[in-house]
Amino acid sequence: MDVEVTCCCGDVALQIRGTPVSACYCHCNACRRYTKQLFSSMALFSPSAVEVRGTATSYATSADLARFHCARCGSHLYEEGGGLRMVPIAMLAQGTEIPEEVWPRAHIFYENRVVDVRDGLPKYKEFDVDFSKDPPEPQVRSGYEHVLSRVKQLSHDDQLASQ
C-alpha cells in the first residue's frame, strides 16, 4: 500500500507506505465514546509506515491510547498505542472500495460490544490478537456490500413479521 490521505482542510497529510500489520473492528468503550459509533474500524501499521506531515494535535482517551486530529479542522487522523499507528479504514477507502489489505480480520474488545456482529470474523475479549498467524479470510469483499445485504435481510424479515 502506498497512499496519501489528508484531513478535510488539507493541512495534515498521512503518507502510508507498506502493508498493515492487520485491520480490525474495535468495540472498546474509548473508541465508542470517541467515534460516537457502535464500533470503530482501524488499519494497524508500524509507526514507521505512517509519515505525518503538518500539525496534528493529540488527545489521550485512555492511558494507553492517544488520538490525533488536525489542529485546524479537527478531522480524526490516526491513533497511537501499543507500538502501532492506527488509521481509520474509511480514510483509506477509495470511493466505495476498501483496499483488500485493510479489510478487517477480527473484532477486538468484543466483550464491550453494544450489538452482536455475525460476520464470521474471530472475536477477541481484549487486544490479544496474535498478528504473527495467518489472518482468516476477510468476510467483506468491498465497500458497503455487507451493509446492504444485511439491510435487505432485515427488510425481508420485517415484511415476514408483519404478515
- List pLDDT tens digits, range 75-125: 999 999 888 999 999 999 867 788 888 899 889 999 999 999 998 888 988
Q: Which of 6-20, 99-113, 119-133 has the highest mean pLDDT?
A: 6-20
Q: Do residues 50 and 14 make contact, with C-beta atoms less than 8 angstroms apart?
A: yes
- Picking from 125, 130, 129, 150, the residue whose alpha carbon sits closest to that of residue 139 is 150
Closest CA to 19 of 42, 45, 41: 45
> What three-state secondary structure class fits 104?
coil
Please name every residue paired with 68 in a beta bridge, in sequence order, or none if there are none. Answer: 58, 78
- In this structure, what CATH number is given to the domain that contains residue 64? 2.170.150.70
- Residue 38 has what pLDDT? 92
pLDDT at residue 144 in the model: 46
Which ranges in the chain belong to alpha helices (H)? Answer: 29-35, 89-92, 145-162
Strand order across the beta sheet in which 2-6 lies: 2-6, 13-17, 50-53
What is the rounded distance in angstroms from the CA atom of residue 106 to the CA atom of residue 130? Answer: 11
Gap between the Cα atoms of 30 and 94, Å rounded: 27
- Count how many domains the chain has: 1
Report yes or no: 77 and 93 within 8 Å, Cβ to Cβ. Answer: no
Residue 145 structural domain = 2-162
| Cell representation of residue 76 | 480524526
